[in-house]
């Protein structure tokens, strides 16, 4: 894997490239964090956080919610996107316009000018919660990038390769950071190490991760 290298651009802030199609925007969301958290709160009020169960019967340590055209769910029948929230039997909340615009702006700054997110996954990490190495491959449109927001407590992002086994990099994502990946990096394995305890002024003892995907063409 290539070494990280910095790109100084006054329009982008401090940007690092993690791979040919992957960019890390340091502090991109800091100025917008309050409004982003307000939008997240409005979504969670309608679709509360919940701990999903994997097809193998394990309860995920990360709680989650969704907004947009569909929501990502998991149960004994498998992983999938569906239009109805299984807790409420209602459609998922609409994606807040400001969140969509911020995701599109981040993607554009990383060379993905046509990104049009249709779904948004909101993950709530408490101390000890983790995300194992995985690929985001449930979307039909694998040509569109993933845009990932980090808010609250810092987390160690594990960035791997095209196979589950092999070398990985550990990257400390902090409040306001955004990672965008696509192109030949779209199916790289990634995860999050167990969250360390701490306190953040905006999120308390938690990290919020918001990821945007484009399901269709």
What DSSP assignment string belongs to 28-79? TTGGGHHHHHHHHHHHHHHS--B--B-TTSPBPSSEEEEEES-EEEEETTEE
Segment 70-94 mean pLDDT? 97
Mean pLDDT comparison of 102-111, 131-140, 161-170, 208-217, highest-scoring range: 102-111
pLDDT, one tens digit per residue, over 48-67 is 999 999 999 999 999 999 99
Domain boundaries, the chain: 35-49+61-68+95-153+179-213
Contact 75, 60 (CB under 8 A): no
* Local confidence band at 140 (pLDDT 50, 70, 90 cut-offs): confident
With b for 16 or more beta-carbon neighbours within 10 A and e for fewer, the 69-95 pattern comes to bbbbbbeeeeeebeeebeeeeebbbeb
- For helices 33-46 and 97-109, the axis angle rounded to 10 degrees is 130
pLDDT, one tens digit per residue, over 33-47 is 999 999 999 999 999
pLDDT attached to residue 51: 98
**pLDDT beyond 80 at 5:** no
pLDDT attached to residue 163: 82
pLDDT attached to residue 164: 82
pLDDT, one tens digit per residue, over 99-137 is 999 999 999 999 999 999 999 999 999 999 999 999 988
**pLDDT beyond 90 at 8:** no
* Local confidence band at 13 (pLDDT 50, 70, 90 cut-offs): low
CATH code for the part of the protein at 35-49+61-68+95-153+179-213 = 2.60.120.590
Largest CA distance in the chain: 48
Average pLDDT over the chain reads 92
Segment 167-178 mean pLDDT? 95
């Amino acid at each position: 894997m290539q070494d990280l290298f910095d790109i100084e651009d006054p329009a982008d802030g401090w940007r690092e490239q993690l791979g040919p199609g992957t960019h890390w925007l340091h502090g991109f969301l800091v100025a917008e964090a309050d409004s982003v958290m307000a939008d997240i709160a409005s979504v969670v009020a309608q679709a509360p956080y919940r701990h999903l169960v994997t097809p193998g019967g394990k309860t995920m340590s990360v709680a989650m919610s969704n907004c947009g055209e569909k929501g990502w769910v998991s149960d004994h029948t498998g992983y999938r996107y569906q239009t109805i929230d299984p807790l409420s039997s209602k459609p998922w909340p609409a994606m807040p316009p400001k969140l969509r615009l911020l995701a599109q702006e981040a993607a554009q700054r990383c060379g993905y000018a046509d990104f049009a997110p249709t779904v948004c996954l909101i993950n709530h990490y408490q101390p000890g919660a983790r995300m194992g190495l995985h690929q985001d491959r449930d979307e039909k449109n694998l040509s569109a990038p993933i845009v990932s927001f980090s808010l609250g407590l810092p987390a160690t992002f594990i960035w791997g390769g095209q196979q589950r086994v092999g070398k990985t990099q550990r990257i400390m994502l902090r409040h306001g950071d955004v990672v965008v990946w696509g192109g030949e990096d779209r199916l790289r394995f990634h995860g999050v190490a167990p969250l360390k305890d701490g306190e953040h002024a905006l999120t308390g003892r938690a990290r919020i991760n918001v990821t945007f995907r484009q399901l269709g063409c």
